[in-house]
Copies of this chain bind each other. A is one copy, B any other.
Amino acid sequence: MSDIKKVVLAYSGGLDTSVIAKWLQTEYNCEVVTFTADLGQGEEVEPARAKAEALGIKEIYIDDLREEFARDFVFPMFRANTIYEGEYLLGTSIARPLISKRLIEIANETGADAIAHGATGKGNDQVRFELGAYALKPGVKVIAPWREWDLNSREKLMAYCDEHNIHVEKKKGKKSPYSMDANLLHISYEGDLIEDPWAEPEEDMWLWSVSPENAPDEATYLNITFKNGDPVAIDGVDKSPATIMEELNKLAGANGIGRVDIVENRYVGMKARGCYETPAGTVLLKAHRAIESITLDREAAHLKDSLMPKYAELIYNGYWWSPERKMLQAAIDETQSVVNGEVRLKLYKGNVIVVGRKSDDSLFDEAIATFEDDAGAYDQKDAEGFIKLNALRLRTAAKKGRDLL
């Protein structure tokens, strides 16, 4: 355990990663650099500085990554209308590659030879952190204390704190019993009461959204403008990527939108119950599909749909920094230069309802689509040949006695 000289730790300032910082200093006898990121989780990150200093940390990184996160990770992912297993919007998954990237950048800047994280050995996050780190710095060492130590309960952690004089802030009010993660895209809940897939979550678990029942009785209407496949304005006012996420989280959360409650398949092989609040994401996915519906070519849209499950799987499994994700991104991005225009939405008690879409790049051609006289824009007689040739192989098969029933 002695050949590591300096390790960059993904540090939240909380109990677990504070213990890890001390444990790394003690067990590995190495210097620890802390890295704390504001990804929009809704908690101050500055307080992490004093905590790190109290642990004797000399190199402390505290970064506001909100804009980069929204612009370079969330939005590119949303161009693909990405959903994992039909339900999950990948809120945690998409944050990990950015953290890996910064961990490695900091390792390079500080001359560290290792990184460390506080993810457990049963989850996906260890995989995501480490695949990213290895892909960006192949010789890096990775320390995952939860796979090594025996401090596997809150009691043991607290005892360790006492023993090593780590000051743990008592949170006001009841501590949530859930394992949580939050960023601009979502907040997640796992463990405790919701480990049983038959148990309905209690209302007070949810932190970011009101329930549909408690949402306003009046609908909220809003317009979202897209440019090159990305949202750029709300109600005609241009906003930065992170601001769009923040405002939509508020608007949608207040209307009871974005709760997801699923059993998902982890990359490490087990099924796990997860609950998520993704207010902005839920709105943006719906809006993005709507603006694509009038601007995207049919076959491009279908090809995107057929590639999406693979793309979602790659992100979920931690392969953001991989050649195959870049291939799919290239295909997806190729289509988005025409995905421009405006979508009108109605938010109401958990519902996101598209009520209008318009675009200068619209391929919707009223002259052709109309039930009224189309003045020759479309020759209905063409349909006969179209059908006849598409049917030819089926007819030939049927003539030869093939039974297609």
Residues of A within 8 A of B (CB): 81, 85-87, 101, 120-122, 126-127, 130-131, 134-139, 144, 146-147, 152-153, 179, 190-192, 195-201, 212-213, 217, 219, 259, 261-265, 268-273, 289-290, 293-294, 296-306, 308-310, 313, 319, 321-324, 326-328, 330-335, 338, 344, 346, 348-351, 353-358, 361-366, 368-371, 373-374, 378-400, 402, 404-405
Whether the Cβ atoms of A86 and B289 lie closer than 8 Å is: yes
Residue of B nearest to A269 (CB): B392
Whether the Cβ atoms of B134 and A391 lie closer than 8 Å is: yes
Residues from chain B with Cβ under 8 Å of A127 in the complex: 383, 386-387, 390
Residues from chain B with Cβ under 8 Å of A136 in the complex: 398, 404-405
Residues from chain B with Cβ under 8 Å of A81 in the complex: 86
Ordered by A's residue number, 10 sampled pairs between the chains whose C-beta atoms are within 8 Å are A85-B301, A122-B374, A135-B394, A190-B371, A195-B370, A259-B353, A323-B404, A348-B350, A386-B388, A386-B389
- Give the CA-CA distance A228 to B327 in the complex, in Å: 15
Residues from chain B with Cβ under 8 Å of A392 in the complex: 268-270, 368, 378
- Tell me how many chains of this kind the complex includes: 4
Residues from chain B with Cβ under 8 Å of A306 in the complex: 306, 309-310
Residue of B nearest to A319 (CB): B299
Whether the Cβ atoms of B321 and A394 lie closer than 8 Å is: yes
Contact of A302 among B120, B313, B328, B391 (CB under 8 A): B313
Whether the Cβ atoms of B326 and A303 lie closer than 8 Å is: no
Whether the Cβ atoms of B324 and A297 lie closer than 8 Å is: yes
Take A262-B293, A363-B396, A391-B135 as given contacts and tell me if A338 and B402 are in contact as well, using a CB distance cutoff of 8 Å.
yes
Residues from chain B with Cβ under 8 Å of A305 in the complex: 85-86, 309
- Give the CA-CA distance A265 to B127 in the complex, in Å: 21
Residue of B nearest to A395 (CB): B138
Residues from chain B with Cβ under 8 Å of A273 in the complex: 364, 369
Take A294-B271, A348-B213 as given contacts and tell me if A263 and B179 are in contact as well, using a CB distance cutoff of 8 Å.
no
In the complex, given contacts A265-B301, A338-B402, A348-B349, what are 14 additional A-B residue pairs having Cβ atoms less than 8 angstroms apart?
A122-B378, A190-B371, A200-B346, A263-B293, A268-B383, A271-B298, A300-B323, A300-B327, A328-B331, A349-B350, A362-B400, A368-B392, A382-B384, A383-B389
Residues from chain B with Cβ under 8 Å of A382 in the complex: 384-385, 388-389
Whether the Cβ atoms of B396 and A368 lie closer than 8 Å is: yes
Whether the Cβ atoms of A297 and B130 lie closer than 8 Å is: no
Take A86-B289, A198-B344 as given contacts and tell me if A135 and B404 are in contact as well, using a CB distance cutoff of 8 Å.
yes
Residues from chain B with Cβ under 8 Å of A353 in the complex: 259, 261
- Give the CA-CA distance A241 to B139 in the complex, in Å: 40
Smallest CB separation, A385 vs chain B (Å): 3
- Give the CA-CA distance A387 to B322 in the complex, in Å: 14
- Give the CA-CA distance A159 to B153 in the complex, in Å: 49
Nearest 10 interchain pairs by C-beta: A385-B385, A121-B380, A269-B392, A265-B298, A382-B385, A138-B395, A200-B355, A134-B391, A138-B398, A135-B394
Whether the Cβ atoms of A268 and B195 lie closer than 8 Å is: no
Residues from chain B with Cβ under 8 Å of A397 in the complex: 135, 297, 323, 363
- Give the CA-CA distance A390 to B308 in the complex, in Å: 22
Contact of A369 among B271, B324, B344 (CB under 8 A): B271
